[in-house]
Amino acid sequence: MPDEIHNPGATGVCADGRRAVLRAAGVSKRYILDEIVVNALNGVDLSICDGEMLAIMGPSGSGKSTLMHIIGLLDRPTEGTVVVEEEDVSRMAPNQLAAVRNKRIGFVFQAFNLLARTSALANVELPLVYAGMSGAARAERAKAALEQVGLGDRLGHHPSQLSGGQQQRVAIARALVTDPSIVLADEPTGNLDSRSGIEVMVILQQLNEQGITVVLVTHDESVARHAQRIVHIADGRVVREEILTERIFAADRMKLLDAEENLS
Amino acid sequence: MNFLESVRIAMRALNANKVRSALTMLGVIIGVAAVILLVAIGTGVQDEVTGSIEGLGSNLIFVFAGNFEEGGSSGGGGIAIRKQFTIDDADMLQRRLGPEELVVPLVQGPAILKAGNRTMRSTLAAGNEHADAVFTAEYLGGRAYRRSEVAAASRVAVIGSTVRDRLFPHVDPVGRQMSVNGQRFTVIGHVASQGGSLTGDQDNQIYIPVTTAQRLLGSRDVSSIIVRASDPDKIDELQAQIRQVFTPSFGEEFSVFTQEQTLGILSQLLGTLTVMLAGIAGISLLVGGIGIMNIMLVSVSERTREIGIRKAVGAKTYDILSQFVIEAVVLSVAGGMVGIALGWSGALVLQQWVPTEVTAWAVALAFFFSAAVGVFFGVYPAYRASRLDPIVALRYE
Ligand SMILES: Nc1ncnc2c1ncn2[C@@H]1O[C@H](COP(=O)(O)OP(=O)(O)OP(=O)(O)O)[C@@H](O)[C@H]1O
Ligand SMILES: [Mg+2]
């Protein structure tokens, strides 16, 4: 049961007077495939508030990933606008969008999306490379990010030499290394076993506690309940929104899991 | 992002895919090596032939079997030589022209020389007792072969300076033995270097009696007959006289040229050969370039996800474009350098059998062409890659 209905919508009025890091207003996305029109999104209004942990939840095919790609500036809406840090990005040229992504947005994908045959350190350095950073400072920052996700001892490992959970942690390090306003995670635990999944959620919640805005995209209620707020979407529309009074803390689940394993 | 960083990214990407990089380079390597090698052979042959004519005396008239003159019955497409000159033809010409003019039947051919444990490739230049009218080198020691030695087909040889330096370094060669195509010869003289001509190739020659050369090569033919005019003003008149002498027995199937005409014709012929060889090599370079484009195109689609990832974390169009262009340039330049090394060493190895000469222009041409081919064929796939939509690239399966 929803504890409270609240939708800041496109107006960007967040609880406690917080500002919106990102706003989507009237966003629609239409795909036309051989005369079949797919309305992946139909007029979505959404505000993401500074420092919150938000889950976008809905069944398969409801348009979650499409929405994430649009608010992550990887894709353009057919209609509607996206505003990042009070800057309207709807009319920006591809290279300007790349700069905004680089500076403000970190991505975590279900399929990790690391560069193959490239060390963890080089993967994490990648956004800094494109930010124009170089030399020792860049390597230092990438190393610090990897240490933050508990991989300080795996700097030289290639993705193929890391477990799925470790790869996803490298991806999280890459997302946070530029100190972005917002980290977008699309089914970050989708390809992981339960322990690795919990580890990833622990890290995402830690990041959020440090003040980074985190958006989780998932079809899985038990994942979504790690957030503070859930936006439910179906058929490309926001259908419901809830603010969680009882969220799940991944660190607690981890302790429980450890205890269970010690018993058996 | 600066240029150096693009180079580093490209190098890292090439390094991460060594097999693909090596395969891409292979086409360029083969193309460049082929250009250098084939042009080296063409130039080497051309220089050896023209050099050997330039190094001859002056006031010479050359008589060849076969009609090389323009509009000749056997000219044009290919020259069919039905009947070769022999020593008897030369003797007859000498009788008809009188003792004022010197007639030399000439035989040329390849020779493998051995002395002790040293072996080298050289050229035979054989004539009769008047040969020093044609071969004008200055004697450093010993003597020329005599009329009696021509008559007896004696195995005596006068050696050029290159031969002396290689086979008999630091000793007087006169009186020493050497083997020519497996036969024992005595060195009776040696001549000074004729440096100053195009190549110095005629320094790598041995001079022997024409009769000896015919036995050695197993043929009664002579390559050409050379007449030295006693007076440069008589050259035109002599040309006409020579035509008269041979027309009854050879009809139209012989040619009479002055030294300048011969040189002109030969360099034209051999120049065409070099251009043809260069053309063939150029085609292989083009094929190498298409190979680069192919692999770059494949690699772009293979690497669509990589492009998507790079764009997602902030790579701009320019960053992707420069990465792929630099990859293509690095591959073709590296391939070009390996190709140069390979073509050059190939030319050195081949020198045992054919004259080769690596020319700066062929190296430069091959190198710049390979770089151009790499850039040209690398830019299109790179341009396509750089224009990909980040989401399209990321979703690519
Ligand atoms: N490139 C595309 N071309 C055509 N249709 C598309 C494309 N991308 C997405 N769609 C359609 O848009 C709709 C929403 O897709 P989306 O990937 O956003 O769903 P989702 O909520 O992320 O689902 P899942 O939980 O399975 O990942 C689907 O019907 C899908 O078929
Ligand atoms: Mg999805």
Predicted local confidence at residue B80, as pLDDT: 63
Predicted local confidence at residue A67, as pLDDT: 96
- Measured between beta carbons, the chain A residues lying within 8 angstroms of B17 are 117
- Nearest-CA residue of chain B relative to A100? B314
Is the shortest distance between the CB of A64 and ligand 1 below 6 Å?
yes
- Nearest-CA residue of chain A relative to B307? A115
Domain count, chain A: 1
Per-residue pLDDT of chain B (397 residues; tens, 9 = 90+): 678 888 888 888 888 788 888 887 888 888 888 888 888 888 888 877 777 676 676 788 989 888 876 554 444 445 566 788 999 999 999 999 988 899 999 998 889 999 989 999 888 889 999 888 788 778 999 999 999 999 999 999 999 998 999 999 989 999 999 999 999 999 999 998 875 443 346 788 899 999 999 999 988 899 889 998 888 888 889 999 999 999 998 888 888 888 878 788 777 888 888 788 878 877 877 787 777 777 777 777 778 888 999 999 999 999 999 888 888 888 888 888 999 999 999 999 988 778 888 888 888 888 887 778 777 777 787 788 788 889 988 887 6
* Crossing angle (nearest 10°) for helices B18-54 and B317-350: 40
Compute the count of residue pairs across chains A and B with CB atoms less than 8 Å apart. Answer: 70
Instruction: Give the domain range for residue A195.
Output: 51-64+93-263
The yes-or-no verdict on residue A99 having pLDDT over 90 is yes
* B389 interfaces chain A, CB cutoff of 8 Å: yes
* A74 interfaces chain B, CB cutoff of 8 Å: yes
Predicted local confidence at residue B236, as pLDDT: 87
φ/ψ bin of B151: left (φ > 0), alpha (ψ from -120 to 50), beta (otherwise): alpha
What's the mean pLDDT in A6-11?
48
The answer to whether residue A36 is domain-embedded is no
Whether the pTM exceeds 0.80: the reply is no
CATH of the domain at A199: 3.40.50.300
- Measured between beta carbons, the chain B residues lying within 8 angstroms of A94 are 316-317
The yes-or-no verdict on residue A179 having pLDDT over 60 is yes
Six token digits for residue B377: 């064929």
In this complex, which of B319, B389, B394 lies closest to A130 when CB atoms are compared? B319
> Looking at A55-59, A139-143, A224-228, B18-22, which range is the least confident one?
B18-22
CA distance B297 to chain A (A): 19
b/e map B130-153, b = 16+ CB within 10 Å: bbbbbbebeeebbebbeeebbeeb
From the candidates B14, B313, B316, B317, which should be mutated to test the interface with A, based on the most A CB atoms within 10 A? B313
Question: Could you tell which of B392, B395, B396, B397 is best to mutate to test the pocket of ligand 1, judged by most ligand atoms within 8 Å of the CB?
Answer: B395
For residue A33, give every residue at least 6 positions away whose Cβ sits within 8 Å of its Cβ, in sequence order, or none. Answer: none
Predicted local confidence at residue B70, as pLDDT: 57
Is the shortest distance between the CB of A237 and ligand 1 below 6 Å?
no
In whole angstroms, give the CA distance from residue B289 to residue B291. Answer: 5
For residue B234, give every residue at least 6 positions away whose Cβ sits within 8 Å of its Cβ, in sequence order, or none. Answer: B101
Which residue CA neighbors atom 22 of ligand 1 most closely?
A65
- Measured from the Cβ of residue A169, the count of other Cβ atoms closer than 10 Å reads 25
The answer to whether residue A34 is domain-embedded is no
Instruction: Tell me which of A174 and B201 has the higher pLDDT.
Output: A174
Answer whether A180's CB lies under 8 Å from A106's CB.
yes
Atom of ligand 1 nearest to the CA of A68: 18
Predicted local confidence at residue B286, as pLDDT: 79
Predicted local confidence at residue A5, as pLDDT: 43
Restricting to A residues 116-135, those with a Cβ less than 8 Å away from any Cβ of B are 116-118, 122, 126-127, 129-132, 134
In this complex, which of A69, A117, A126 lies closest to B391 when CB atoms are compared? A69
* A159 interfaces chain B, CB cutoff of 8 Å: no
A149-166 residue pLDDT tens: 999 999 999 999 999 999
The answer to whether residue A177 is domain-embedded is yes
Report the separation in Å between the CA atom of A231 and the middle of ligand 2, taken as the mean of its atom positions: 15
Which residue CA neighbors atom 3 of ligand 1 most closely?
A31
Question: Average per-residue pLDDT in chain A?
Answer: 91
